[in-house]
């Protein structure tokens, strides 16, 4: 057992106090002090040397006062933060405060990396110098990849490392060699090349991306992305980011000179900027522009981009207070889908101003508010002009435990000043109508008899709306649509989204929701909702080219979510009518997940006269190392596959590889494309090849790319 000798401890600490601000404590079985000109102190047996942030153990240690050095011998073990070093010999110089280890092995516990070095020096400033280094994140019994270098310097304060004559071997085969390289060792950013991406297949041919990152300053940076497409040519992409206390900016410019297939040069520009002023006002810029309507289909690199039909170009100012808000906007659109006719393209808002305010006082629960908007709509084709809308509102909220009641009354007035009119169309139509409503709900709760830790709730809700009919046939449609009917829309006071049409209503909306909750875990085991609206009068207000709604009630809307088993959940939504119209919309989703990496999804979507699709996706381990994953989306209406991809992942303890083949509809007119990508991952280092993370996470619900990172 180690003996603590206070006298010797005190003597040695006193000798070192003038050399370092750090206090160092020694423990050993035996401590011998040799007086003289070259005073030495020997620590023998179970030596332990401690300071504020490290501990060193060995069989023997010798302190030489004349050279101000400490020699450590025999089974040397050093630990400091996440660094561990093993060696037979080490030396600490108090004058330079440098710790040196000969023929040492090291481990970095923060990323499971380890290695060997002929010499390791730990300097006073915390930097490490390593000579003739072998480095890997693989275990000792399976060294699949190894980095070798003549010299590596790690500087934690700068967050970077520099290596000379560095080479990478995989399975004993040399992969690459670099005479000199520097790279970050923490989350700090550093100028240099990022991991390349390689892919192939499809109309654009094989692809190589080699991003170069510029760390310009702590709050702004840039990335230059050369991209070679064997079928199209050379594209140069760039991204600039800026961030400070009041500003956030992101600029993207991509340019492809003389596309070999398209026959012209092509570009894409994207600007996002936000400024928050000291007075609380905010300014936002959202600007997108592209050279042609097929840009995203040919060069977008994701299925979501191929469906873009318009690019937003807007400048927005807004501010918020406790009882008010104001918003001003100038908004334009670039329509990139040339198949959209001129009369169906969106209007520009030049400008739009919205103001909302309410009184801070609510006597007896009565609140008053005012919503106002003024906007000028412009377009190259069709009617243009001003629209001014004002809606004062009063609402009384009565709320107690288990119930609430909210009657409300508002008066909506809308005035237009129009140009470019059709024949017999008024230039200044207006509309004024009162809107009254009563919203009420109840809340019931009970414990289940056989499951006392489970609670069931039941929440009925009723909304009555009354709006008289106003003829709106002479009012143009600037920004108004009729959205899909759903549970949210069931309790909206206007079935249209927008101001150009206010539906005449004398209706009652009913909804019932119930859920069963495990109170010990908080998990909702069953959730069910059912709703329907009843029309007391025929609805006459419609959008152009639509028939009047003569139904006495809306469709039924139902949603069910089941999570009775921890590894199985089911979601189902359904919209149907009780007449000959039948099912309008339906969607179902089933997920089976017996473990974190093992999951299986089934899905179904239906919209009457529009689509009927089924999809299946999975991520299923074939063994401890191999994982099979895929996604298949099929149109039952068109009898064709919309998208399918299949992949294999191999993962060892220190590296992985991912291979993905994809076939998908890449254009709006139904053309198909395909691609194949390989991604090689060195854990704790980098990845090379096609980055398919976003594709897999989007296509396989519940999948995470972190499994193999």
What is the C-alpha separation between 8 and 428, in angstroms, rounded? Answer: 100
| pLDDT band of 156, cuts 50, 70, 90 | confident
Residues 135 and 84 in one domain: no
Look at residue 64 and tell me if it is in a domain. yes
Q: Is 40 domain-assigned?
A: yes
Is residue 18 very low, low, confident or very high in pLDDT (cuts 50, 70, 90)? very low
pLDDT at 297 over 90: no
Distance CA 702, CA 709 (A): 16
Question: For the segment 207-263, what is each residue's pLDDT rounded down to a tens digit?
Answer: 899 999 999 998 999 999 999 999 999 999 999 999 999 999 999 999 999 999 999
Please determine, for residue 591, whether its predicted confidence score (pLDDT) is greater than 50.
Answer: yes
Residues 96 and 145 in one domain: no
Q: What is the DSSP letter of 54?
A: E
Please determine, for residue 116, whether its predicted confidence score (pLDDT) is greater than 80: yes
Question: Do 489 and 402 share a domain, yes or no?
Answer: yes
* Banded model confidence at residue 176, pLDDT cuts 50, 70, 90: confident
Q: What is the mean pLDDT of residues 158-163?
A: 81
Q: Which secondary-structure segment (H or E) carries 8? A: helix 6-16
Instruction: Report yes or no: 307 and 668 within 8 Å, Cβ to Cβ.
Output: yes
Last residue of a domain, one of 549, 582, 615: 582
Which among 482, 480, 392 has a CA at the least distance from the CA of 435?
Answer: 392
Q: What confidence tier does 640 reach under pLDDT thresholds 50, 70, 90?
A: very high
Say yes or no: 29 and 95 in one domain.
yes
- Do 137 and 65 lie in one domain? The reply is no
Same domain, 568 and 441: yes
Of 541, 562, 582, which marks where a domain is finished? Answer: 582
CB neighbour class for 520 (10 Å; exposed up to 12, middle 13-18, buried from 19): exposed
**What is the C-alpha separation between 621 and 626, in angstroms, rounded?**
6
Residue 228 lies in a domain: no
Q: Are residues 85 and 153 in the same domain?
A: no
The tokens describing 509, both together, are 């909306």
Q: Is residue 573 part of a domain?
A: yes
Q: What pLDDT score was predicted for residue 22? A: 53
Maximum separation of any 2 CA atoms in the chain, in Å: 117
Which among 143, 169, 188 is the end of a domain?
188
Cut 0.85: pTM above it: no
Query: Domain range spanning residue 154?
Result: 125-188
103 pLDDT higher than 80: yes
- Is there a domain that residue 371 lies in? no
pLDDT reported for residue 432: 97
- Would residue 324 count as lying in a domain? no
Provide the CATH number for the domain around residue 46.
2.60.450.10
- The torsion angles phi and psi of 634, rounded to 5 degrees, stand at -125, 135
290 is a domain residue: no
The proportion of the chain whose per-residue pLDDT surpasses 90, expressed as a percent, equals 60
Length of the chain: 709
Per the structure, the count of domains in the chain is 3
β-partners of residue 13 are none
Count of other CB atoms within 10 angstroms of residue 71: 17
Does 436 lie in the same domain as 484? yes
Give the pLDDT confidence of 298-338 residue by residue, as tens digits: 887 665 666 788 999 999 999 999 999 999 999 999 999 88
Q: Looking at the structure, do residues 88 and 134 belong to the same domain, yes or no?
A: no
pLDDT of residue 592: 96
Check residue 9 and give its pLDDT.
39
- Which pLDDT belongs to residue 114? 85
517-552 residue pLDDT tens: 999 888 999 999 999 999 999 999 999 988 887 788
Q: Would you say residue 356 lies in a domain?
A: no
Whether 73 and 142 map to the same domain: the answer is no
Q: Are residues 475 and 518 in the same domain?
A: yes
* Residue 8 pLDDT grade (very low, low, confident, very high; cuts 50, 70, 90): very low
Tell me which residue of 232, 242, 240, 239 sits closest to 254, measured CA to CA. Answer: 239
Residues 64 and 135 in one domain: no
């Amino acid at each position: 057992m180690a003996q603590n000798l206070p006298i010797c401890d005190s003597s040695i600490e006193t000798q070192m106090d003038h050399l370092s601000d750090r206090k160092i404590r020694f423990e050993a079985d035996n401590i011998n002090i040799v007086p003289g000109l070259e005073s030495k102190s020997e620590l023998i047996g179970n030596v332990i040397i401690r300071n504020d942030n490290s501990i060193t153990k060995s069989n023997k240690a010798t302190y030489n006062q004349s050279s101000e050095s400490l020699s450590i011998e025999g089974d040397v073990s050093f630990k400091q933060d996440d660094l561990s070093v093993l060696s037979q010999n080490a030396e600490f110089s108090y004058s330079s405060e440098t710790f040196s280890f000969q023929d040492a092995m090291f481990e970095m516990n923060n990323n499971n990396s380890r290695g060997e070095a002929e010499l390791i020096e730990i300097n006073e400033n915390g930097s490490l110098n390593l000579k003739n280094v072998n480095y890997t994140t693989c275990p000792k019994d399976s060294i699949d990849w190894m980095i070798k270098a003549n010299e590596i310097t790690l500087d934690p304060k700068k967050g970077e490392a520099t290596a000379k004559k560095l080479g990478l071997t995989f399975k004993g085969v040399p992969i690459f060699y670099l005479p000199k390289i520097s790279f970050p060792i923490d989350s700090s950013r550093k100028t240099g090349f990022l991991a390349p991406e390689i892919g192939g297949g499809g109309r654009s041919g094989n692809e190589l991306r080699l991003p170069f990152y510029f760390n310009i300053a702590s709050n702004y940076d840039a990335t230059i992305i050369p991209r070679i497409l064997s079928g199209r040519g050379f594209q140069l992409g760039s991204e600039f980011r800026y961030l400070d206390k009041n500003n956030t900016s992101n600029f993207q410019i991509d340019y492809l000179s003389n596309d070999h297939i398209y026959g012209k040069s092509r570009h894409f520009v994207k600007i996002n900027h936000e400024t928050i002023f000291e007075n609380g006002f905010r300014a936002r810029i959202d600007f997108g522009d592209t050279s042609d309507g097929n840009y995203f289909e040919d060069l977008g690199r994701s299925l979501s981009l191929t469906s873009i039909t318009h690019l937003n170009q807007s400048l927005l100012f807004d501010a918020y207070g406790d009882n008010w808000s104001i918003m001003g906007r100038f908004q334009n659109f670039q329509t990139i889908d040339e198949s959209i006719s001129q009369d169906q393209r969106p209007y520009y808002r030049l400008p739009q101003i919205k103001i909302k305010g309410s009184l801070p006082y609510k006597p007896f629960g009565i609140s008053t508010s005012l919503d106002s908007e003024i906007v000028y709509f412009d377009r190259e084709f069709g009617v243009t002009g001003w629209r001014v809308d004002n809606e004062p509102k009063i609402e009384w909220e009565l709320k107690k435990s288990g119930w609430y009641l909210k009657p409300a009354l508002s008066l909506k007035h809308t005035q237009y000043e129009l140009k470019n009119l059709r024949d017999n169309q008024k230039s200044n139509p207006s509309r004024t109508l009162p809107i009254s409503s009563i919203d009420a709900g109840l809340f019931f709760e009970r414990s289940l008899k056989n499951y006392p830790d489970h609670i069931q709730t039941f929440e009925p809700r009723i909304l009555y709306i009354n709006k008289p009919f106003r003829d709106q046939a002479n009012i143009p449609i600037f920004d108004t649509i009729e959205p899909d009917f759903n549970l949210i829309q069931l309790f909206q006071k206007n079935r249209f989204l927008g101001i150009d049409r206010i539906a005449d209503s004398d209706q009652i909306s009913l909804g019932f929701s119930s859920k069963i909750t495990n109170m010990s875990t908080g998990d909702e085991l069953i959730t069910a909702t059912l709703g329907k609206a009843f029309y007391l009068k025929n609805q006459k207000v419609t959008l152009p080219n639509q028939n009047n709604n003569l139904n006495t009630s809306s469709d039924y809307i139902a949603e069910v979510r089941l999570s009775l088993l921890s590894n199985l959940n089911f979601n189902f939504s359904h919209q149907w009518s009780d007449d000959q119209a039948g099912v309008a919309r339906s969607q179902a989703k089933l997920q089976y997940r017996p473990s974190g990496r093992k999951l299986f999804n089934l899905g179904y979507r239906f919209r009457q006269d529009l689509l009927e699709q089924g999809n299946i996706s999975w991520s299923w381990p074939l063994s401890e190392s191999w994982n099979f994953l895929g996604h298949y989306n099929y149109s039952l209406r068109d009898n064709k596959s919309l998208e399918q991809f299949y992949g294999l992942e191999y993962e060892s303890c220190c590296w992985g590889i991912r291979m993905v083949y994809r076939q998908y509809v890449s254009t709006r007119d139904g053309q198909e494309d395909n691609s194949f990508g390989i991604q090689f991952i060195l854990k704790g280092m980098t990845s090379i090849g096609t980055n398919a993370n976003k594709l897999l996470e989007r296509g396989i619900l519940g999948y995470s790319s972190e499994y193999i990172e």
